[in-house]
Amino acid sequence: MRLCSLLSSVAKKMTEKINYPSAERNKVYILDVLKKHFDSSRPGDVLEIASGTGQHAAHFAKHFQNLTFQPTEYEDALFRSIQAYAADAFPKKNIRQPILVDVSNDCDGWKLPLKRYDYMININMIHISPIECTEGLFRSAGKLLKPKGGLMATYGPYAEDGVIKPESNVDFDEDLKRRNPSWGLRDIDDLKKIAKENGIELIDKCDMPSNNKCLVWMKL
């Protein structure tokens, strides 16, 4: 009877998980960047904005067992998938329950359990959301990251110095704007300006597969 119950639980969890192939591919490379910057030797807290399916948080949590991850998401329909992946974060259950967050709104209204975080993560959101979401992301990072060293990692495709390259990213940018005129690849120089307004600066820029980059920002 207990075996049947266990098998039923496993089957249910598998059906609740949503799998994005791109997340499965990029999570390994993003983890390599995080390992360079996140301190895994001491306890800390990580706030993930736009957690999506929960694949990234579950993968990272296994490798940073001293860190506690707080997933957030605008689409509450994804909560079950986030929770299903979080259940696999063995041996430590170091992923909190997901929280509904609209990053374009002031973070003072978010129902977060903590007032300050050591780290923040934002993956594949900036280019598929209005600029107000990007502004909100940096505004919240300016308030929520611990001063003098709190870090935020963002990942995705970017323009740089007013140029989008290679051609596949140009095509991608055009397709995004056809789908929604408020979307599109953001220029790193513009992000630096928004970051500066919120007491944050870019400290690392890592080239990633598929013409993406991982940017690491620090709270001053």
Q: How far apart are CA 94 and CA 148, in angstroms?
A: 25
Class of domain 2-219 as given by CATH: alpha beta
Q: What is the pLDDT of residue 14?
A: 52
- pLDDT digit string (tens) for the chain, length 220 residues: 454 343 344 444 456 999 999 999 999 999 999 999 999 899 999 999 999 999 999 999 999 999 999 999 999 999 999 999 999 876 678 999 999 999 999 999 999 999 999 999 999 999 999 999 999 999 999 999 999 999 999 999 999 999 999 999 999 999 999 999 999 999 999 999 999 999 999 999 999 999 999 999 999 9
Report helix, strand or coil for 83: helix
pTM (two decimals)? 0.92
End-to-end CA distance of the chain: 56
Domain ranges of the chain: 2-219
Q: What's the longest Cα–Cα distance across the chain? A: 63
- For residues 33 and 206, the answer to whether their CB atoms sit within 8 Å is yes
Residues in contact with 219: Cβ distance below 8 Å, sequence separation at least 6, in sequence order: 141, 142, 145, 146, 147, 148, 149, 150, 151, 152, 199, 200
